[in-house]
Structure 1
Amino acid sequence: MAQVTALILAGGQSSRMGYDKALIDVEGTPLLGRTCEVALACTPTVKVVTPWPDRYQAVVPAAVTFVQEQFLPQEVPQSHGPLVGLAQGLAQVESEWVMVLACDLPHLKAAVLQTWAHQLESLPPSTLAYLPQLKGRWEPLCGFYRQSCLPHLEAFIQTGGRSFQRWLDHQPVTVIADADPALLFNLNTPGDVASLQQMTSASGKI
């Protein structure tokens, strides 16, 4: 398997949720901690990119380190966005490939991510990202990026770009075939949390 570093992005404002979704309890574990555990099953090098490392220190495994995310001087936090967080995280990575995960994916499965990671070595050298795509839109926070995409990303950000979709549409991306939409279910609103609870009650487990 290709050498991989995991970056977990936890810099969002959770404005639609109304409270910090990284700390939502899922089967007795805060969601961010659960995501870290899944990532550690795939690679020993896991970093959480966040402006608030002190907030999350107690909920992540001891092996996890933090990248202190900095808000850009000209921006308010609400306009900062995960694309900037990704760039700041990539700048702290030395491995060829980076597994990037949102902190709010309760259905993540280590076995699936491990399968995808094993496929990285078969990709052409020109591929800068390996991502799922649903209904014609990239799923940018559950997939893999080459660390070498950083100059392209920084140039896009410097022009004011903040949209993953716009940036990825102009990059050599390989689609992860047959990605399960359930794996990509994320928690953005209280309604999403209610749906997760209903699914958990119906199945008895995540």
Structure 2
Amino acid sequence: MKKNIALLAGGKNSRMGGFTKSFLKFENEFFFQRVLKEFSNFDRITIISNEKKIYKEYPIEIFEDLVKDKGPLGGIYTALSSINDSCFIVACDMPFLNPKKILNFYNDLADYDAVIPLYKGRPQPLCALYNISILKYIKEAIADDDLKIMIPLKKANIKFVEIDDDKLFVNINTPEEYDTLTL
């Protein structure tokens, strides 16, 4: 099975004062560069962003949202539709992603529409592996303008996997969170 990853980097970044979160730096690297490096052994790496021009100097495949203004669910839809295969979907504001923690998800993907980690009992749908089979539920949710990610997931066959890692799911949404970013 091919291993694909799509980095969702198309948000409005309103809580970050409009600054594009994938271009925040940590340890002298942009957040998105850290993900590209960590997942460099994947078969296909893409970025989902409506700002293609800001990534033009990087050798990466970029897709713009197929359906505009649908939030992260629209990004997941674009990733799965554009890649036309299963895909690990991750938000661009997670600087501590580690492929070792999620590679085992591929062992279960044939039997499920998605494999989603839980952290302290909470689903992490923006750091999850999606089977192309879930696309029908996502299309339906977008058509109904039900944009909460958990809506199509409730209809799908999902495997939830508890992962106990204090750093893995850290995401940066505000300047204050960015200021406290530490290893």
TM-score computed with the length of structure 1 as normaliser: 0.80
SS at match of 1:99: strand
Structure 1 residues 122 and 154: CA distance shift in structure 2, 3 A = closer
Give the Å deviation of 1:88.
1.4
| Paired amino acid for 1:178 | I
| Paired amino acid for 2:103 | A
Aligned length: 182
SS at match of 1:91: helix
Aligned residue for 2:107?
121
Deviation readout 1:108-155 (Å, 9 max, x if unpaired): 12322xxx3234234562x11101123443211111000121111101
Aligned residue for 1:91?
81
Q: 1:1-206, aligned counterparts within 5 Å?
A: 2-18=1-17, 19-41=19-41, 43-58=42-57, 60=58, 62=59, 64-72=60-68, 77=69, 80-95=70-85, 97-112=86-101, 116-123=102-109, 125=111, 127-196=112-181, 199=182, 206=183
Contact in 2 for aligned 1:129/1:145 (Cα 8 Å): yes
Q: Which has the larger radius of gyration?
A: 1
Contact in 1 for aligned 2:46/2:61 (Cα 8 Å): yes
The 1-side partners of 2:98 and 2:38 are apart by 7
Aligned residue for 1:202?
none
Structure 2 gap segments, 5+ residues each:
none
Q: CA RMSD in A?
A: 1.8
| Paired amino acid for 1:57 | K
Structure 1 gap segments, 5+ residues each:
200-205
Give the Å deviation of 1:177.
2.6
| Paired amino acid for 1:83 | L
4+ long deviations beyond 4 Å = none
Aligned residue for 1:203?
none
